[in-house]
Chain A
């Protein structure tokens, strides 16, 4: 396991984060989002990721933590899955920050061959003892949960006990366009917590109940979360499966998934106000304070399907 020392940059980052938080009039609406450069999947990623956890003061010590990547398809050459090195970096960091237990967990919505998919995506090769650390959320033991004040047609949903029993879920999506939802980011990534072993592959019940509405509803089951978006190599066009790789070279992180996803949309030149699930989840009540790189210089329009062209940020 790696050991980390607080560097001058980390210290400065923490100070700027504190100042940003103090600047906000209502602490309940704090939504600090980091946008940091990460040009490649390289060794430097480990320090960058650790710094993000430290800067955001993510409560980790003594906690049961789930790292939830986005595993979708057998296509190692494309930007379809969260890169394993990012997950490994998060694993090392969370361990060094004193988590009592760390699991990597995912329940793919398309393919049920989860371990084979993870193998193809490089997880076995990158993360030592990956299989021991991994929980297939599609096949985990489940509990029935009531959806409070549902936006969707779901009044109850079965969810994996691994998710319900964790203290912190780190949502680690790949930044991608989505042919129905507009963009798939840290919130949509929670579809992977809905068990295919109960609902099937794909998890079609979420489509009938309303995709945007279900994305918003699922947030209530992960009250403590941290979003860490893999936007080093992202996907544009006909995402989330058949799109093209787009190099963005960024990591976006924060403790408020709505704020993180809205920031990602802005980078993708998608209007967050036009993404229904963000509005349903309280985008209008969310004051985003962005730190790190200057967002103005980072906007890089993602190619959108013609049917989604109205989402383009003016």
Chain B
């Protein structure tokens, strides 16, 4: 069964996708839509139903909840913003943009910064660079910051969006681990260096696709060395997408990874396949900054 057939067979009756067999959620639904889009199935009934599900799930504050039974907009708001223009047009994307622009990592707010200063805490992180949290009023992390940058890049004429993207990229660059990749958000915990993760490294590289900072040389070299050793399909997919975003050839295949076990992995497999052919769904050249 092809990735797309497999995806469509897992679509819920309400038009969305769950992570596996559960209720529909914003994240897998958006990734399934991206996969349908790069596979030329963006106008199918399944895709239209999914867009309707997303439109109906968008909250009055402009954000999206991770699932409808959660009464809170979260980081997943950035994901529908990444969809192609034809799909985004059916959503209130401007409201979503406003919601994400209202969010930042709690550690960057003046209260916690003043508190940390008065306490004399030795934070190795530069908290002046504003990233994005997973959940409102918590700290910023690599994954939500990367996704939000990719989402805001769809609004190239918005000055605030450009400014926050710039700061978000600085946030990512300031969080590189000593091995060249990215952990969740920090490079140190207490006095100990943290190791990077392939999935967050891939995401950060994706969000930094337009950067030429010299620090990325080590990041890309590390990613290239690591990618073929990964058994996790999800981890390898993100690392491959990150490498493709920097025009790095990737020789490793997804076939020798663990099998696709979830909607996300099926969708990512399709997205990696398209990116290998020059169609990276996360980076639309005509819409970039």
Residue in chain A with minimal CB distance to B200: A201
- A242 interfacial by beta-carbon distance below 8 Å: yes
A197 to chain B, nearest CB (A): 6
Interface string of B45-78 (1 = CB under 8 A from A): 0000000000000000000001101111011000
B229 to chain A, nearest CB (A): 11
- A113 interfacial by beta-carbon distance below 8 Å: yes
Interface range for A: 20 to 34
User: Given A119-B258, A201-B134, A305-B190 in contact, is the A139-B234 Cβ separation under 8 Å?
Assistant: no
A45 to chain B, nearest CB (A): 27
Cα A238 to Cα B141 with chains together (Å): 22
A180 to chain B, nearest CB (A): 9
Cα A99 to Cα B118 with chains together (Å): 55
Query: Which residues from 214 to 255 on chain A have a C-beta closer than 8 Å to any C-beta of chain B?
Result: 238, 242
B191 to chain A, nearest CB (A): 9
User: Given A158-B70, A204-B135, A307-B190 in contact, is the A141-B232 Cβ separation under 8 Å?
Assistant: no
User: Given A116-B258, A201-B143 in contact, is the A142-B134 Cβ separation under 8 Å?
Assistant: no
Residue in chain A with minimal CB distance to B141: A200
Tell me whether A143 and B234 are in contact (CB under 8 A): no
Query: Which residues from 24 to 47 on chain B have a C-beta closer than 8 Å to any C-beta of chain A?
Result: 25, 27
- A41 interfacial by beta-carbon distance below 8 Å: no
Residue in chain A with minimal CB distance to B190: A179
- B92 interfacial by beta-carbon distance below 8 Å: no
Tell me whether B138 and A200 are in contact (CB under 8 A): yes
Residue in chain A with minimal CB distance to B74: A198
- B273 interfacial by beta-carbon distance below 8 Å: no
Tell me whether A119 and B231 are in contact (CB under 8 A): yes
Q: Which residues of B contact A200 (CB under 8 A)?
A: 74-75, 133-135, 138, 141, 143-144
B170 to chain A, nearest CB (A): 21
Q: Which residues of A contact B190 (CB under 8 A)?
A: 179, 238, 305, 307
Tell me whether B134 and A139 are in contact (CB under 8 A): no
Q: Which residues of A contact B139 (CB under 8 A)?
A: 204, 207-208
Tell me whether A199 and B232 are in contact (CB under 8 A): no
- A131 interfacial by beta-carbon distance below 8 Å: yes
- B19 interfacial by beta-carbon distance below 8 Å: yes
Q: Which residues of B contact A143 (CB under 8 A)?
A: 69
Which of B71, B74, B106, B135 counts the most chain A CB atoms within 10 A?
B135
- A136 interfacial by beta-carbon distance below 8 Å: yes
- A312 interfacial by beta-carbon distance below 8 Å: no
- B249 interfacial by beta-carbon distance below 8 Å: no
Which of B27, B74, B134 counts the most chain A CB atoms within 10 A?
B134
Tell me whether B67 and A142 are in contact (CB under 8 A): yes
- B246 interfacial by beta-carbon distance below 8 Å: no
- B184 interfacial by beta-carbon distance below 8 Å: yes
- B251 interfacial by beta-carbon distance below 8 Å: no
Cα A143 to Cα B232 with chains together (Å): 30
Taking a contact as CB atoms closer than 8 A, the residue among B106, B184, B234, B258 that contacts A201 in the complex is B184
A48 to chain B, nearest CB (A): 32
Residue in chain B with minimal CB distance to A196: B134
Cα A144 to Cα B67 with chains together (Å): 12
- B189 interfacial by beta-carbon distance below 8 Å: yes
Query: Which residues from 249 to 295 on chain A have a C-beta closer than 8 Å to any C-beta of chain B?
Result: none
Q: List 7 A-B contacts (CB under 8 A).
A: A113-B232, A115-B261, A136-B20, A139-B18, A201-B141, A204-B139, A205-B138
Which 5 pairs of residues, A with B, have the shortest CB-CB distance? A200-B134, A116-B232, A139-B19, A204-B138, A113-B232
What residues make up the interface of A, taking CB atoms closer than 8 Å to B? 110-113, 115-116, 119-120, 131, 136, 139-144, 158, 179, 197-202, 204-205, 207-208, 238, 242, 305, 307
Apart from A201-B184, A202-B141, A204-B135, what are 15 other A-B pairs with CB-CB below 8 Å?
A112-B199, A113-B234, A115-B258, A120-B231, A139-B19, A141-B22, A141-B23, A143-B69, A144-B71, A179-B190, A200-B143, A205-B135, A205-B138, A208-B137, A208-B139
